[in-house]
Amino acid sequence: MSEQKTQLKEIGERILESSRTELYLSMRFMGEALGSLSFEMDLSTPRVGTDAYSIRYNPSYLRQLFIERQQLLNRTYIHMILHCLFRHMFLSDLYEDADLYDLCADIAVESVADTLDYPAIARLYSQLREDWYARLTEAVHVLTAPRLYAYFKAHPLTEQEEKRLRREFCLCDHSFWERMEKEPEKSDEPQPESIMPPLKATVRRATEEEWKKHANRALRDLTELGNEQSSKTGSLSRILTMETQSKTDYREFLQRFSILREEVRMDPDSFDYGFYHYGLQLYGDLPLIEENEVREVRRVDQLVIAIDTSASCDRVLVQQFLAETAAILRSQDNFFHHTDIHILECDDKLQKDIRITDLKDIDEYMRHFEIRGGFGTDFRPVFEYVRTLQEQGELTGLRGLMYFTDGFGIYPTEPTPYETAFVFRKDEEWNDKDVPDWAVKLFI
């Protein structure tokens, strides 16, 4: 490396080290995340960006930013750290329109950074920014990249709007984000060179796992700060909670409530072709064994689904949950043809019990569904009602109960003899801190 490049590299690293130190002194909970990126001079970029491994910078850009707008330099640094904590660069390949996803990711991290009350990264709101925050919050409630992407896909931006938003929210270079292509279908044809090599993909997955750990660590440190610091940390804790919670496949989770039972149905898997053909050879047209007319299957027999219909639970979200549930209930792979499902609507008291004994009844229920109640939430009446049904011998095979809610309410204190899951929408506001230890928290 030439002497000039060495000097530029040293200048760039000193600037970034200075910014990192200032951020660390302001936000100790970011310490592990701030120290996880190395610095690498890269003259291919006119600005600065990250690939989640290092911060790649143009030294001339850093020098100018440090002299003229040091707060913007700090803001850009934390902007990149938030991208990593939310793992935007690892999820970008899931979205067809990469440019739109990049914009959504920038809006998402800036909306969080704007709630952090620290002078080191302070930035005055523009009227444009304030107007769009209000508009987007009303439309999608929580400004995460996936929700913003879905919104802009449904409500496309004009060319002028998109340019304005990019000028307002884009602070770093996303060209370092590697878009991992989908796995190719098996073929004898040679694969294109653009497919990420296995070793590189392994390194990428390992780096993503490291950032998941950094996000969890930041969330733990934020929690330890307590409520007195919540005014300074803004929405970061809430968004980190959303990003770090595992998204569980609903179908897979329902299988935990399944039982093994015989069902009237041909079972070709238990068919013995050896004896069958032996019979044909020995007696002509008389096989020795026929297909079994019953088979053992593992499916759900009895299930209780409770729905929080209080005023705090959004009606649209309840309808979406019911639609997803109905689709799964109609699946022949998950439920017996004749099953026993109770859908309980409850706010501060039990409002309605809808019993489903045949899968075709689901559509009828969906057509006539309406929100009942609208008061505070008390989860206990549902569990008392279920206990009564069990005592009466109506739910002798109950394996599980799922309660769709936002989590704000009075929980039962005694554990249930069946598995209980409180179900939350991952990208909405919820309260799961009061969920009893014996219950499962399910985020979908």
- pLDDT tops 90 at residue 13: yes
Q: How many CB atoms lie within 10 A of CB 41?
A: 20
C-alpha torsion 174→176→177→178, nearest 10: 150
Asked if residues 87 and 41 have their Cβ atoms less than 8 Å apart, the reply is no
Asked if residues 287 and 267 have their Cβ atoms less than 8 Å apart, the reply is no
- pLDDT tops 70 at residue 63: yes
Looking at residue 373, its pLDDT comes to 57
**What is the average pLDDT across 324-341?**
63
The Cα 275–Cα 378 span in angstroms is: 61
Name the nearest CA neighbour of 425 among 349, 324, 300. Answer: 324
Give the domains, in start order, of the chain with CATH numbers. Answer: 3-180+196-244 (no CATH), 250-267+300-443 (3.40.50.410)
Write out the two tokens for 60. 């001339």
Looking at residue 412, its pLDDT comes to 93
Residue 169: Cβ-neighbour burial (10 angstroms; 0-12, 13-18, 19+): buried
**Distances in whole angstroms, Cα of residue 50 to Cα of each of 30, 35, 41, 116, 365:** 17, 14, 11, 21, 50
Looking at residue 194, its pLDDT comes to 44
**What is the average pLDDT across 230-238?**
84
Name the nearest CA neighbour of 243 among 102, 51, 87. Answer: 87
The Cα 437–Cα 294 span in angstroms is: 40
3-state per-residue secondary structure call for the chain = CCHHHHHHHHHHHHHHHHHHHHHHHHCHHHHHHHCCCEEEECCCCCCEEECCCEEEECHHHHHHHHHHCHHHHHHHHHHHHHHHHCCHHHHHHHCCCHHHHHHHHHHHHHHHHCCCCCHHHCCCCCHHHHHHHHHHHHHHCCCCHHHHHHHHHHCCCCHHHHHHHHHHHCCCECCCCCCCCCCCCCCCCCCCCCCCCHHHHHHHHHHHHHHHHHHHHHHHHHHHHCHHHHHHHCCHHHHHHHHHCCCCCHHHHHHHHEEEEEEEEEEHHHCCHHHHHHHHHHHCCCCCCCCEEEEEEEEEEEEEEEEECCCCCCHHHHHHHHHHHHHHHCCCCCEEEEEEEEEEEECCCEEEEEEEEECCHHHHHHHCCCCCCCCCCECHHHHHHHHHHHHCCCCCCCCEEEEECCCCCECCCCCCCCEEEEEECCCCCCCCCCCCCCCEEEEC
pTM of the model: 0.67
Residues 6+ apart with CB under 8 A from 177: 51, 88, 89, 92, 102
Average pLDDT, the chain: 82
Listed ranges 160-174, 206-220, 321-335; the one with the highest mean pLDDT: 160-174
Listed ranges 16-25, 86-95, 295-304, 316-325; the one with the highest mean pLDDT: 16-25
**What is the average pLDDT across 241-253?**
68
**What is the average pLDDT across 213-226?**
87
Looking at residue 387, its pLDDT comes to 95
The Cα 137–Cα 278 span in angstroms is: 71
- Cα 360 to its chain centre, rounded Å, is 31
- pLDDT tops 50 at residue 336: no
**What is the average pLDDT across 219-240?**
81
Looking at residue 183, its pLDDT comes to 43
Residue pointed to by tokens 């109770």 = 342
Asked if residues 387 and 407 have their Cβ atoms less than 8 Å apart, the reply is no
Name which residue leads in pLDDT, 426 or 151.
151
pLDDT digits (tens, 9 = 90+) for 405-428: 888 899 999 999 888 888 887 666
Confidence of residue 238 (pLDDT cuts 50, 70, 90): confident
Write out the two tokens for 61. 């850009």
Asked if residues 46 and 58 have their Cβ atoms less than 8 Å apart, the reply is yes
